[in-house]
Amino acid sequence: MSRIGNRRLVVPEGVTITIDGNQVTVKGPKGELSLEIMKNIAVTVEENTVVVTRANDEKTTKAMHGTTNANIHNMIEGVTNGFKKELEIIGVGYRFAMKGNALVINAGYSHPVELEIPEGLSVDVTSNTEITVNGISKEKVGEFAANIRKVRKPEPYKGKGIRYKDEHVQRKEGKKAA
């Protein structure tokens, strides 16, 4: 039994959900998102609620039942409030900067790393060591934040690198003198 798949999603004011075959489109004040659903999953809109049901109890259908419900919930949340990820960079000489539509990262390499900002996302540089990635798609925000973090992952000895704002890095003790 899927508890997440069976939950009813409440549609807030100003959000419209349209279903066209196997395509679900959510429009809200911040934008529009669409999702293609599996053929064994049915999505219905009843007044102010969205109900996701499955046709059979096959393993893949049961797995996609909860996933589809969660994805539609994230779409509703994204078009109303949006999503954001905050990152910080720690290290001597490490910094973030914007250059047109690209994020420039100086992370201790011999060259600065430039990452093109995807369509639908915005990056705010609050200081030269902190940034915020904003967008309406939870998937795109999380993926781009992970790509930024991948440039220089935090290392366990000195803690240098790029990390999420709320991330705790497990520190290790260095070598002992003999």
- The mean pLDDT value for 113-131 works out to 94
Task: Residue 68: count other Cβ atoms within 10 Å of its Cβ.
Answer: 22
Asked whether the predicted pLDDT for residue 139 surpasses 60, the reply is yes
Task: Residue 23: count other Cβ atoms within 10 Å of its Cβ.
Answer: 12
- The mean pLDDT value for 26-44 works out to 94
Choice among 55-59, 122-126, 144-148, 174-178 with the minimum mean pLDDT: 174-178
Q: Are strands 161-164 and 83-90 parallel, antiparallel or unpaired?
A: antiparallel
